[in-house]
């Protein structure tokens, strides 16, 4: 039985018990949320499963992998270590360069968290040209990725050839999802229907054998704040929700990727809440969203601001954006900075979602130690303890920001 079938039948399994304990949620609520499709559990053999969806803590994904024009494989493997060290909940291997099978198997060997893949990337490379992609090749790639032990798979099945044809001439940024644009390009090259949509039920049979989480891709997300959310993205959200229902009825857990890309800050609450309503509170995975377009080089900061809003208003899972977004393959330092920014966003979001519950004990302990100027203890509660240690003078009491006019020292004397 799959995790979802277990939940529907009221059977508590080891993955549910682990998630209930880690998240401090009653097991009955975990069962209820999973059975209704409002939360999922990504499992990974020999490692801890991860719960995604309300009322679990907001989770963070880090993308890594080679591209067709760059990618030192050893550097990508170091990114796995960095991402795990700084607290990524899941990783996505998006490799499109080098020996993709070997890279994925190595990433699985050296990682401890659930891994996601996007089969259209590898199918595009193996076909050598978009027009050579075939349904057989797609199935072959999906099957080998599943066999290797991934925990989640992304299919861009939520749009049709008719939608693509209607999009012509509309939008400033057209399609900004890589998986979405590759799928769309294959469809347009032969004027065929979306292969993931056409073969959806056959793909579900394959996915069910491995009980991985199906991640329905967000091909038609808005690519700049002036494109906003349009009829095309709305039709994808509705289609993905219909497909999610079918997958849930098959016993497969589903996450919906959506509202990633670029959304003006004032619209984030409206869209997240509407998305949750349209999709019956299914788990929502966002990239960013970026609330402005001009932060290039600092897109991790823009994404953290958008991500904090999105998470606070109901998004369950955020993809880290690095300072290299829109520019180049990220370095190790970029991966760290993007992940830390995303952790800050998720933590802010959780404070809006849950109030100051147990997740904020570190904030409380940090403040108590900050007041007492227990520098060493204080830093251990930080999201990244290494950074303050690098900056603070090691000789005792002093913080040079205000020097002898330290407000904490003054208030300690008078209050």
Which residues here bind ligand SF4, judged by CB under 6 A? 399, 401-402, 406-408
- The CB-of-387 to ligand SF4 minimum distance in angstroms stands at 16
Q: Work out how close the CB of 366 gets to ligand SF4 at its nearest, in angstroms, rounded to a whole number.
A: 12
The Cβ of residue 190 has, within 10 Å, a number of other Cβ atoms equal to 12
CA dist 250 and 248 (Å) reads 5
Pairing of strands 90-93, 59-64: parallel
Q: Provide the minimum distance between the beta carbon of 239 and ligand SF4 in the complex, in angstroms, as a whole number.
A: 52
Taking the least distance from each CB to ligand SF4, the nearer of 274 and 406 is: 406
Question: Using a CB cutoff of 8 Å and minimum separation of 24, what contacts does 20-26 make?
Answer: 22/48, 22/51, 23/51, 23/55, 23/56, 23/57, 24/358, 25/55, 25/56
- Using the minimum distance from each CB to ligand SF4, give the nearer residue, 45 or 397: 397
Crossing angle between the packed helical segments 119-127 and 135-147, to the nearest 10 degrees: 130
The CA-atom distances, in angstroms, between 300 and each of 303, 308, 324, 338, 359 are: 5, 12, 8, 5, 23
CB 118 within 8 A of CB 217: yes
Among residues 251, 355, 346, the alpha carbon closest in space to that of 61 is found at 346
- Smallest separation (angstroms) from ligand SF4 to the CB of 374: 12
Instruction: Please state the closest distance from residue 402 (CB atom) to ligand SF4, in A.
Output: 3
Exposed, middle or buried: residue 254 (CB in 10 Å: 0-12, 13-18, 19+)?
buried
Contact present, 314 and 273 (Cβ < 8 Å): yes
- For the bound state, the minimum distance from the C-beta of residue 413 to ligand SF4, rounded and expressed in Å, comes to 13
CB atoms closer than 10 angstroms to residue 173: 14
Which residues pair with residue 152 across a beta bridge? 116, 213
- Residue 373 CB, shortest distance to ligand SF4, in Å, is 7
């Amino acid at each position: 039985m799959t995790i979802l079938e277990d939940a529907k039948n009221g059977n508590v399994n080891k993955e549910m018990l682990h998630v209930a304990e880690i998240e401090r949620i009653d097991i009955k609520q975990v069962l209820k949320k999973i059975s209704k499709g409002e939360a999922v559990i990504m499992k990974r053999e020999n490692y801890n499963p991860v719960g995604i969806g309300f009322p679990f803590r907001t989770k963070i994904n880090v993308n890594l992998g080679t591209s067709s024009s760059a990618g030192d494989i050893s550097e990508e493997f170091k990114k796995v270590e960095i991402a795990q060290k700084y607290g990524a909940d899941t990783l996505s291997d998006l490799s499109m360069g080098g020996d993709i099978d070997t890279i994925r198997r190595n990433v699985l060997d050296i990682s401890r968290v659930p891994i996601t893949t996007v089969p259209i990337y590898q199918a595009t490379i193996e076909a050598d040209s978009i027009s050579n992609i075939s349904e057989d090749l797609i199935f072959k790639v999906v099957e080998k990725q599943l066999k290797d032990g991934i925990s989640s798979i992304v299919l861009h099945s939520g749009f049709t050839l008719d939608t693509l044809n209607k999009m012509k001439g509309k939008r400033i940024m057209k399609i900004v999802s890589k998986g979405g644009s590759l799928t769309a390009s294959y469809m347009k090259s032969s004027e065929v229907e979306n292969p993931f949509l056409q073969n959806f039920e056959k793909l579900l049979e394959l996915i069910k054998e491995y009980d991985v989480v199906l991640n329905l891709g967000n091909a038609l997300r808005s690519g700049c704040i002036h494109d906003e959310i349009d009829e095309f993205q709305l039709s994808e959200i509705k289609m993905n929700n219909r497909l999610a229902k079918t997958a849930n009825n098959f016993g497969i857990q589903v996450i919906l990727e959506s509202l990633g890309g670029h959304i003006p800050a004032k619209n984030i609450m409206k869209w997240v809440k509407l998305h949750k309503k349209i999709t019956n509170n299914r788990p929502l995975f966002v990239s960013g969203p970026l609330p402005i377009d001009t932060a290039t080089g600092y897109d991790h900061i823009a994404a953290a601001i958008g991500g904090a809003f999105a998470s606070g208003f109901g998004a369950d899972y955020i993809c880290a954006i690095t300072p290299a977004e829109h520019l180049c393959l990220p370095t190790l330092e970029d991966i760290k900075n993007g992940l830390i920014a995303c952790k800050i966003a998720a933590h802010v979001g959780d404070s809006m979602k849950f109030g100051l519950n147990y997740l904020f004990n570190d904030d409380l302990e940090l403040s108590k130690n900050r007041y007492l100027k227990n520098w060493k203890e204080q830093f251990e509660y930080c999201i990244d303890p290494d950074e303050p240690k690098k900056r603070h003078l090691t000789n005792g009491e002093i913080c040079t920001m205000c020097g002898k006019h330290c407000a904490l020292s003054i208030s300690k004397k008078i209050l």
